[in-house]
Amino acid sequence: MTMDFRLTDDQRALRAGMRGLLAARYPRERLRSLADSPGGPPAPDRGLWQALGEAGFFALRLTEQDGGAGLGLPEAVLLFEEAGRALLPGPLVATHLAAGLVPGAAEGACTVTALDRPGPAEHLASAEAVLLLDGRAARVLRVSPGGAPRALRARPARSVDSTTPLHLVRQLPRPPDGSATTVPADASRLCREAALLTAAQQLGSAFRTVELAVSYARNRSQFGRPVGAFQAVQHLCAEMLVRAELARAAVYAASLATGPEGAAEIAAAKLLADSAAVRNARDCLQVHGGQGFTWEADVHLHLKRGWLREGQWQSAAESEELLANTLLHEASHLPDGPHASDATDVLDAENVTA
């Protein structure tokens, strides 16, 4: 069976609309001002957050009766890809998942962060609700503005990304304590969707660094020739594009997977998108040469955000473990019966393909 990943006219219009909105409300100058802020990582811009809500960014997948557009994960992936391309900060994934579960989230009037286990939490101090995904059913912890760190006994943690504040949460509230309210949503499904939407952000960043590298290679001259005329630079840019396109195919395919059986597809998409975002940022820095190491270049912002997202929702180790277990399970059901050698052959073939 073949899949057609060509976008429809409506999907292209949706993506173009989001790119135009971000260009107008979150230009490069705004990104740089946040990154250069002497007061540390800022809270999400309320005006921009509400603009995203009015544009349907958070309510995209709600039914029309509930105030949404009735669209699906493929369309959500396109919007999050654009957000990743612009390095839009804030707990976008958590607030999108909370639409319909937390009042105000769909409209952009409420900022929501999320946790599926103890560990780092982004934008915790500015959150008005925390989506807890550590059990079978999702729970919502409502807090007063600025009260989430105290409610979760979290302490500030240093963040590699200057636009993403972090707190370290050592323990989540236990279900019987009554501090969090159970909501009608499957926590496992939300975690899978969070991993996929995070992969979409990584994908957008990967393609943006391709654009930055190619633009620099075309316009920068060295020894009387454009940098892009050198074969080594051409190879770097070509490898970046191939890496991003492979990740795009995996992310788009995973957006069509539904139910628990799509977990392996999402794990593969997250793994490829993480690799594309981080490795492309590194290669983009290499193309820029000495200038790429300066604070004024945007390359380091993509690299740091890529590092941060790499550990969110599903790390590389977790994705690899899930994929390995899936391959072993499939190998054990081959026609000849469960043989360890069969499983090894499948894994070896996967490594060769990778």
pTM comes to 0.90
Residues 6+ apart with CB under 8 A from 11: 74, 75, 78
Nearest to 164 by CA among 58, 61, 305: 305
Q: Residue 98: enclosing H or E segment and its boundaries?
A: helix 92-98
Rounded (5°) CA angle 187-192-195: 125
**Mean pLDDT per 10-residue run, the chain (354 residues)?**
74 95 93 82 84 95 93 96 96 97 95 96 95 95 92 94 94 82 95 97 98 92 79 93 97 89 93 97 93 88 96 90 87 66 49 48
Distance of CA 264 to the CA centre of its chain: 17
pLDDT at residue 127 in the model:
95
Q: Cβ distance 269 to 253 under 8 Å?
A: yes
Beta strands in the chain (DSSP E): 112-115, 119-122, 129-132, 137-142, 155-157, 166-169, 181-186, 221-222, 225-226
Q: Which pair of structure tokens corresponds to residue 12?
A: 């292209």
Q: What are phi and psi of 142, to 5 degrees?
A: -90, 135
